[in-house]
Amino acid sequence: MNMNTTDYLNRFKASPVQEHYLQNLAELQSLHMQNIPFENLDVLRRTPIYLNINSIYDKIVNQHRGGYCYEINGLFHWLLNELGFEAKLISATVQKPDGTWSKTDTHAAILVELDTLYLVDAGFGDSTISPIPLGGERHTDHSGTYRVEQVDEVYYDLIRENKETEKVLYRFSTEAKQLADFHEGCVFNQVSQESPFTHDDLVTRATENGRVTLSGSQLTRSENGKKEKAELSAAEKQNVLKEEFGIDLDVLEKQYQ
């Protein structure tokens, strides 16, 4: 299959990058997160997800789908390198809402070397839409205020600050990984009852001022810090998937049969 950077950029409404500055990287990440959703529809329908970059490209670019972290960040990592950025895949361990840790190294993210190292993550759902420097500087966007804090000689934490509280989202090291290194995590997140992705449909993308999320049959819109929730019928859910996320459930169901 011919993996074409122009077609991929068109998929998320981005222009070709001529320079490799922070603002160029930030625009690519923001547009990617607004136009390519984080979604687990294949997982719930027991369609295997393989860590094959050509298959991922076909799904995201040609089939106009999203994916979860291995797919989204795996393909975005490929694109960044094709565009001339110095990018590498890294692994991370997610901290659950109750403070315990998920299975070790089962999240894939990206580091990009510019004037310093930046954490870039287009595949973590409701999180920062911008690159975060590893030097500890804070960054605020409509989803919150973030910083990366060094834990020890090896590990760093991505932290979201929310009013008076702080929450570690995940812990990562700077060691470069290959997409194949996430095979165990990819299988775990497709089949384990401990995986957050095996229980209900989850489709989410950033918007210019917030985020739109479909979880099961509940639609949540957040804009400028305000949230609205609505329970959807099956027909309404199908319409939301098409209108908000560009995913035609009729076409998918035929593929799943």
d(CA 121, CA 202): 18
Range of weakest confidence among 58-67, 115-124, 245-254: 245-254
Q: Are 120 and 29 in contact (CB under 8 A)?
A: yes
Distance between start and end Cα atoms, the chain: 24
Proportion of the chain above pLDDT 70, given as a percent: 98
Residue range of the domain that includes 237: 5-256
Could you report the per-residue pLDDT of 84-93, keeping only the tens digit for each?
999 999 999 9
d(CA 107, CA 172): 9
pLDDT of residue 142: 84
pLDDT of residue 249: 79
pLDDT of residue 252: 73
Strand bridging mode 86-94 / 107-113? antiparallel
* 3-class DSSP assignment, residue 211: strand
Dihedral, 176, 37, 204, 21 alpha carbons, nearest 10 = 60
Element of type H or E holding 82: helix 69-82
pLDDT of residue 147: 96
pLDDT of residue 202: 95
Could you report the per-residue pLDDT of 133-170, keeping only the tens digit for each?
998 999 998 888 999 999 999 999 999 998 788 999 99
pLDDT of residue 45: 87
- CA distances to 66, 69, 108, 172, 232 from 219, rounded to whole Å, are 17, 21, 26, 31, 7
Could you report the per-residue pLDDT of 172-202, keeping only the tens digit for each?
999 999 999 999 999 999 998 888 888 999 9
For every residue of 159-173, DSSP letters joined together read EEEETTEEEEEEEEE
Domain total for the chain? 1
Residue 215 Cα to chain centre, angstroms: 16
| Model pTM score | 0.95
Find the CATH number of the domain harbouring 210.
3.30.2140.20
